[in-house]
Every structure is written in structure tokens, then in C-alpha cells.
Structure 1
Amino acid sequence: MVIQPDSEVVNGRVLLGTGPPTREELLVYYPARFTWEQLKCFVNSGDLGLLKRDKKLQKRYNAWAEGIKGKYGSMVNYLLNYRLQWGQPDTLSLLGSALDESVLSKGTREPLDPSVSRPLPPIPPDAPPYFAADTPKKFISIIQNDWPYSVPPEVEHALIWTRLPIFHPDLIPSSIAARVEQDGLWGFTGTTTLPPSPSLLPTYLPALSEWGITTDKLIRSAKGTDEEEALVKRAGSHIDAFVRQRWVEDEWETAWFVNPPRLQSVLGLAHIHVFARHK
């Protein structure tokens, strides 16, 4: 099965298609609603619900998802039987990444039988207890987000899917468990300056007016003690190390986040969002 872009260019004009968008479609029909600085501020705010997809693109996604569910039975089956490529580079994305320029065979994967539901195989006894910078590739699938959030055109939106836990008792002591359960984890790499302060949110929130976001609707924990803040940073340290290893800091600046456990969408899998801007 070969994925072909549903959009095409005729007489220099990008035609609007269906299914996952091309980069040209994103530029023409779904332009970014917020800047890189605003995006970093939203990530740093503690309310990861501020990261949004263009409303028109969301509508297109919803229509596509219905077709995918009809073919595969569920979005989980689509991910497991087709989209995720454990231990391999992403050859299916229409958007691509500057990190995968050496991948020449785009869109050439044959899907497994979509009528057969395939649960994830059990984690072997000798597997690491949780996701870390040295996690074996067979437990990881790094793909481009086919339906990216409304990020600037120079920013790549990647997803790191992993079969190993990200939230683990050895990393998250009980004193910060409730906070992580509500807020998730986030961090920044490739910069010597502090990320934009959440105090800037009143200035940046108008960029989210289309979604009806106001200050009183934010959901985030109050700043903890120095000890609690250190524990939260430690809880995300393995993710941070992995991101720094893949997106080398001399070349990339990133903002990453992991939704809290209550918002993880696929049982047995976890994923990390990475917004990466090439310097």
C-alpha cells in the first residue's frame, strides 16, 4: 500500500484535499495561529490543553478518523497494524523531518490485516522498567504528527511512542503524584535562556481566542516548594535526556511535553510530543 498525498498543485495553486495534510496545505489553508515564543509559553504554563489544532484541520481529522475506524475497527488498531513502525524511521509521513532526510522509501509499508485486532505483545522480563535515553529501539516508534498542532511552519511536531512506561513509581514519588496526574511533564532543550514565563499568558492568550481560552479556564497546579519542583524535574529527566540525544542542541531547539496519565489515549502505550525548531 502506498500513501499518496490527497492534495495536488495545479497551475501553481495548492488544491485542498482530504486525509492527512501535506506541508503545502498546512501553509496555505491552515496557517499557524501562534508563534514559537507563544508555543513555548503555553507549554511552560502548566496547562497542556492550551496546545491546539486548527479548527478546520480538526474537522478534517474527524472525517478522516471515521473512515479509519471503519477500515481498521479503531484508531488503536490503525496505530498498531499500520502507523507505528517499532525501531524503524518514519517512512509514512507526508510531512517528513529534517532528521530523516536519508529515508528514501516513503509510504511503502504494507498494512497488516485490518480486520484482525492485534494487542501489543507482552513486555519481556528483561526489558527496562521505564522509558529512558537508552531505551532499546524495539520499544520506540518516532513519527511525525500527521495532524500537527497549529505550530509555526519552521517547527516540526514529532511524537515519540513507547511501549515502556513514562510515569513510573521509581520516578514519581507520592509527594508529586497528584500534580503529575493533573499536569503531566514538560521541558525545553537547545537554549541557554529560560522559557517564556507563564506570567506572559495574559499577553499571549488572544492567540487562542478562536478556541475560547481565557485565564479563568486554565487548569494548572500552583508552583510547589523547591523540593517538589526538583522532584518534578527529575521525573522528566529521562525524557529530557532522550530529546537532547536525538535533537542535538547545537542544531535544534525543542519544547516537549507528555500529557498526564489520565489523558493517555492508548492502553499500554505512552507518547511524548516534541516541537523542534532547526536553528
Structure 2
Amino acid sequence: MNTKSLLLGVSLILFGVFTSQAQINFGERALGAVQKGMTGLTFSDADAAALSKPAVDKMDAENKVAGPTDPYAIRLDRIFGKYTKGEFYTLNYKVYLTKDINAFATADGSVRVFSGLMDVMDDNELLAVIGHEIGHVNNHDSRDAMKALYQKEALIDAAASQSNKVAAITDSQLAKIGSALIDSKHSRKQESEADLFAYDFMKKNGYNVNAEESAFRILAKMSEGAQSSIIDQMMSSHPDSKQRADDAKARAEKDGLYKPYVQQKIVNTVPVVKKTTTTKKTTTKKK
């Protein structure tokens, strides 16, 4: 993957990493639902999750994933590892070791954070970003985007109706899927609602809600720098970062919680445990 900017709503970079002739194993229930979903009848969160998981597994296999003892993985687990249960999903977290700045969540509850993002945001700012991504899953945006993709690309056809596999996905189909996913846009309303989800999550759990404003200020600053053209292109589906920062500030002010946020120290290394030395006291007997 070579995404050079933070995509605060990209929950869908799923299929573009498959090989030229891929077989995706869908359960019979998921397949049937997708076929019906093609006509707009039904498409559940479980169906979207079943379709997302094999793609995420493939992405994990083709990216350098931080192991359990890696400092980035340790930090992410410390920040967010205790939050795994949602209303209808179970979250799992991994770090992709790349200088690219990105984070995304998928319909099956997979949250992937790029180490490049962890290099520029502190713990509270990461909470705001990841909370936003989870908001898209919680608000069913990921499900709706997956449904729209399958309706648009019509990957399920009569040839697959007797099987629980969509066989031999071709290079051209993969290109269309990848293009459709990358170009998929959440509505501005969905983006704003995901921002609100992140804010409410932080408020509920006692975190500094002003970090959300700070995260958007970072994006705004990046858009003015050397990466401005990339940031502008990749964030085109989102409300203006400055406006989102202003909205986050207004929320905090309304709640009486606003205070200019000062970014904390960013530490992506394993804490050094200082060894303590003990000295033995010697006693002498009086004669």
C-alpha cells in the first residue's frame, strides 16, 4: 500500500490486494444475502463482515504487521486494546509498519493503524482518529458502503448462485473493485456523525476531548505543507479539516470542557525499566 495521507473515513481499502485469480469463500448465508442485496432487499452487518474478513486477512498477509512485542503494537494495545466489544461487532487491532499516514476500520471490526500515523499523533489524538473509524462501523456506514460496492460492480451473478464461492475473480474485476473502494465516499453527514461518535467515546471514557480538535488541526497543517496536493486529493470526500476542528472545539465549548490542547510526548518505543540496586546493611556487634 502506498497511501501518503491520513484518510479519516476510509473504512474500505479491502480487495485491491488480491492476486489475479482469487477465490473468496463466503458462507451460504452471506452469499444469499449479498445476492438479495444486489436487488436492494437485504444486506446485514453480519453479511458485510463476512465479506470483509477474507480481504482484511489478505491485506494482513501482504503488509508488514507489528508483532506483539513491537513497540508500536504495545502502544496501540495500551491505548485501545481494552475496547473490543461493540453493539454488534468485536474489534481487533493491528499496526502496519509503514511511514504512510493512515488508519481504517472494516465491517468485520478489523482496525488497522499505520505506524506513520502513530509517529505524528499522541495517544489522545489517536483515540480521536480510531474512534472516528470505529464510528463508521458502529453507524453501519461500512455495511452500506460494502452493499453499494457490490450493487455497483455486480460481482455476484447467476453463475455463482449454486456455490458458496465467487470463483476466479479476474484482474479487470480486481481493478474495478479496488478503484471502486478507493473512490468510495462516505457522505459528509456520515463523516460528521463519525466525528461525533469519537467525541462522545472520549467524553464517556474520561479522555481529553480537545484532542479531536488537535487531530484535525494537524491535518489542516499538513494540507498547507509539502504534502498538500496529496492531502487535498485524499481528503476531498471529507468536510474541511479546519471546519471539523472548529466543530470539535464548539462541541467542547458547549459542554464546558474546552481548553487549548497541548500535544503530549509521542513515545513509540518500549519503556525502559530502570533497575534498582539494593545495598546490604552490615551490623557490628558491640563487645
Larger Rg: 2
Q: Which structure carries more helix by proportion? A: 2
- Output the TM-score relative to the length of structure 2: 0.25
- Output the TM-score relative to the length of structure 1: 0.25
Q: Which structure carries more strand by proportion? A: 1
